[in-house]
Structures are given as C-alpha cells and as structure tokens.
Amino acid sequence: MAPVLAAASGWSGATAISPVGQPDPTRGSQLNDVAVNASGQALAAWDQYRYDIGGGATIGVAVQTGGRWGSPLTISDNTGFSMGPKVAVGTDGTMAVSWTYQDAATATNPLQKIQVAVMRPGGPQNWTRYELASAPVGGVAITPPVPVAIDKDGNVTAAWTLWDGARHVVQAGTLRKNSSSWDKTVLSGSTDDGLYLSLAVNADGDAAVAYSLSPYTGYVSGTGVEYVYRSRSSSAWSAPVRISETMPSSQGYITGPQVALDAAGLATVVYMGYGLEATRQDSSGVWTSPASIIESIVLGASYLSPDLAVDARGNAVVAVSIFDPTPGVDRASVWVSRGSLDRTWSQAERLTDPTVPVDAYATQVAISPNGNLALVGWIDHYHGVAQVSKLTGNLWGKATTIGKSTAFSSFQEVLALDAGSDTDPLKTQAQARAIWKSAKSGTQIYASGYSQ
C-alpha cells in the first residue's frame, strides 16, 4: 500500500512541539496523549526523562489555539517520577492533564500519587494542580495511567486504581465546573482487585468505567471485566456488573478493557480475551454476548495496543496491531473492525499490506462525535514513519504518512490520535490531531493536524 504524502491528503506538515530531550534506548515508551475539540483547540502531553542528571521524569504539555502550537512547559514537579499523561479538552475550552507520580525509591517513606492539572477558559491562564489520592510505594502495586474526560459543561472526571496493601481499588473523582474540590468515590467491589481500567464520558455527562480483575488475585476464581456507570442526572455510580465471560487461569486471563459511550449513554466495551473481544449495550441497555471480533489464526501471535472509538450515534471502530512470529515474517500488521448501529461487527480487515515489509505498532483510533471523520493511525517501525488511514464510505483509504518516527525498539513506539466535532451529524466540520515521537538522537514530540 503506497503511502500518501501528508501535504496531498489534508494533513498539515509535522511540527515539533516539545524541546529535544533524552534519547530513549533504556527508558521505555515515553508515553504521550492528545485531545482536540470542535473548534480546533488541542492539548498534548508527554513524558520527559532526564537521566543525564541522575534520573527523574516530568510531564511536558503544549496547547494549540488558532492553528498555532504554544511554547511547551513542564506541568509537573521537577523531582521524583511523573509518568503516563492523559489529556482532555472540553467543548467549553476546559483542559485537563492527569498523570501518576512516584517519589524516588531513596526517599523516606516514598509515595505514589494520582495528580491532575486543570485550566479553565476565560480566566487566568494558569494550571491548577490537584492530588486525588496517594499510597505507599511497594508490594505488588501496579499504577496504570489515569484516564480523564470533560463533558460539555466543563465538569472534569478522572478514574484510577491504587494499591491499598491488599488489592487495587478502582476509584473516580469529578471536579464540577464551579467547584474547587473533587467528589471522589470507590467504584470496585469490596473484594475486587481492579488492575486495568478505562473511562468514558459523553458530552451530556454520562460516565462509565470498565476494569479488569487482576490475574494474580484471580488465579483461582478467574478474570473478567466489570462495568460501572453514572448517568448525567445523578452523581451516584452503579454497582459493578460483570459484562464479559470469566476466563479460568488455566486458559489465560482477560485484560485491557476499553469503554466508549454514545450520546444516549449506551456503552461499547472491548478487551483482550479470546482474541480481541467486544460487548455492546442495545437500545434497552441489555449487553450483547461477548464475542471475538478480531482473532489471529497464527500460532503465537501477539496482540498489541488495541484501541476503540465510538461516535455520538453509536458507530464504532476498533483496531489492533497483531505481531506474526512466523519465521520469515516477524512483523506486525494493523487490523480493524467496525461496529454498526445494530450492534454487529464487520469482518476483521487488514489495513497494512502483508506483501511489503510494514511493521506496524501503536495503533490508535479516532472518530469525530458527528461521525463524519473516522481514522486509524499507527507507527511503521520498519520505515520509521507515522501513518493514518481515513474511512471514506465503507472503504479505508491508503496510508497517509504524516511524519517520521524513530524509536529504538518497536515496543517503544507511541502515537496519540483524537478527533473533535459537534455532536450534530448535520454539522460536517471535524478536526483531528496526531502526535508521536522521534527519539534516536533525542526525544522530541511532533504533531500534525487535519480539518474537514
């Protein structure tokens, strides 16, 4: 599949939005995230490592308004380790960045913390930082990134899981538009060990969290996905409900759930189980039976970076990178499936050409709320480029190369992709933003934009 140049496709040329940091041969993926609203206001955030001065990690951010990216700044403390940023931009211009923080291991009584910074529109252009939770570092604690979302009224919601000494407790907090304090609550069941989670909030304020149970504490009972929900008219969350099958440890474990909501508050959840599986709520709120929607027949195949997006009506796209370990192949391809309004899924389709040496990782999906723009992006590690395919009608377009990406290793490739628009499908304008890194001579974040 011959790549289309960005200049001929509607994508802007790649722009560096961060300073040049440290190269990444030993420092992991250096995660990043991006969000854009209907007016084109965009927010990007990324990990910044400084191992030339003895260690430490910070969070860098940049904001785009009026088509121009502002100067980058460091939003976290300059000590300790701030990692795994997530971002959101509301319709009203409210912006939020979340991350996890850990004290250095040499600190007295080191802590891990959940931190969020928020900037409101119209007032002083300052970030207000909040610490939502903390716990001692140690044990078998695993603290994944903290998803954050904003509804049309500017209410900010974040979700996280934190080790309490016996289990990982899934929690959520909401900062109302005119408040300075967060409403926080525990979401997981009293015995649940909730290890990985996903958050979705639609424009009207319906919210959902899906989390998977830890395979370590679930060795005897098995693993599955739990779902909790908060309606737009309430501040109370539902009790957790099992929406997947329960997989016994003798067969493997279920992990990595992702959730998305349509305008009616109906959910789509995908997760890794028997291949990439999905379940959706119908118009009455009843869940469909879990089913594999993308599954490889290759023995030993690995599923990497699955991603999900849903528009306001409920049309869904899911993509995943699948690595084929067959001798002579040894590369990953991008696979995609589309969920329709009747809650069925299309046959899995490969977007990258298996006859050429494309090695695709860091798959990302974006759909504008009005449904007029649907994209799948990935990093071709073999050629060192970031690429995007756009859905036109029922066909995915040729890969558009939007910039260069040069991580040392395939597992270090990262890409973030988002699309923004009005929720009304008659308002056809939509925006998209993508960010990625180039890291061999010094890590730097690049961005490209698309408008229609």
Tell me, letter by letter, the H, E, C secondary structure of 414-427.
CEEEEEEECCCCCC
Residue that the structure tokens 């290759």 belong to = 298
SS3 410: helix
> Are 173 and 150 spatial neighbours (Cβ–Cβ below 8 Å)?
no
What are residue 235's phi and psi, to 5 degrees? -100, 0
CATH number for region 4-451: 2.130.10.10
pTM for the structure as a whole: 0.94
Domain range summary for the chain, segments of one domain joined by +: 4-451
Report d(CA 35, CA 400) in Å as an integer: 20
pLDDT tens digits, residue range 329-369?
Answer: 999 999 999 999 999 999 999 999 888 899 999 999 999 99
Q: Tell me: pLDDT of 1 over 50.
A: no
What's residue 347's pLDDT? Answer: 97
pLDDT tens digits, residue range 200-256?
Answer: 999 999 999 999 999 887 677 899 999 999 999 999 999 999 999 999 988 999 999
What are residue 268's phi and psi, to 5 degrees? -120, 130
Q: How many CB atoms lie within 10 A of CB 74?
A: 13
pLDDT classification of 9: cutoffs 50, 70, 90: low
pLDDT tens digits, residue range 246-297?
Answer: 999 889 999 999 999 999 999 999 999 999 999 999 999 999 999 999 999 9
Residue that the structure tokens 């995660």 belong to = 31
First to last CA, the chain: 24
